[in-house]
Amino acid sequence: MAARAAQTHLTPEEYIALERKAIPDADTVRSEYVKGEIIAMSGASREHNLITNNISGELRSLLKDSGCETYASDMRVSSPLTSSYFYPDVVVVCKEPRFEDDVFDTLLNPIILVEVLSTSTEVYDRGEKFGHYRHLTSLQEYILVSQDKVLVERYRLPQKNDTVPITPKDWIFTAFQALEDILPLASIQCELPLQEIYDRVTFPN
């Protein structure tokens, strides 16, 4: 979850240095970075944490021995073409992970990114942030998960076996709105039941 802070313009190098210095300090707020502007990360709700952990845990189990890796919340992702850095809620990378440098804390080649939506970040996650993510040539699927109702939205790039006449740059959108639904992740050949995504999550009346 991110919220724009008072404008503080830093170089990418200054931002990375600050984030790495903040890691041991529990009182320091993590921040994302967009073209020189710092975006402070706000705290997450119980539902947000449950959903993030459910997805990460299920994917970790499904992808065991597959050569893919799953990270939850703390893996920074770089979008070099837009000079930006983000902390997706869940990240999947396959084959050989590529990192920005030898500290191995800034990933360059995610195949799946997941964001759990909140009232304060939903518009940003759907719009501007997705715009940055689309510049990642490795990205195949972008998943948005509502925390106040059953709704999982998937954007994916076309696969070789698709029969829909679309261009390779078109993102195919599908929404899943029932607990009985199954979220197919074509890029990693896995399926996530919404029952598992929303395990122990309660919704407002």
User: 98 lies in a domain?
Assistant: yes
Q: What is the pLDDT of residues 21-66, one digit of tens each?
A: 876 555 567 899 999 999 988 778 999 999 999 999 999 999 999 9
User: 119 lies in a domain?
Assistant: yes
Number of domains in the chain: 1
User: 48 lies in a domain?
Assistant: yes
User: 144 lies in a domain?
Assistant: yes
User: 29 lies in a domain?
Assistant: no
User: 204 lies in a domain?
Assistant: no
User: 89 lies in a domain?
Assistant: yes
User: 16 lies in a domain?
Assistant: no
Tell me, what's the pLDDT at 166?
A: 54
pLDDT at 79 over 50: yes
| Residue 40 backbone dihedrals phi, psi, to 5 degrees | -70, 140
What pTM was estimated for this model as a whole? 0.91
Domain with 114, as residue range(s), is 44-197
CATH number of residue 70's parent domain: 3.90.1570.10
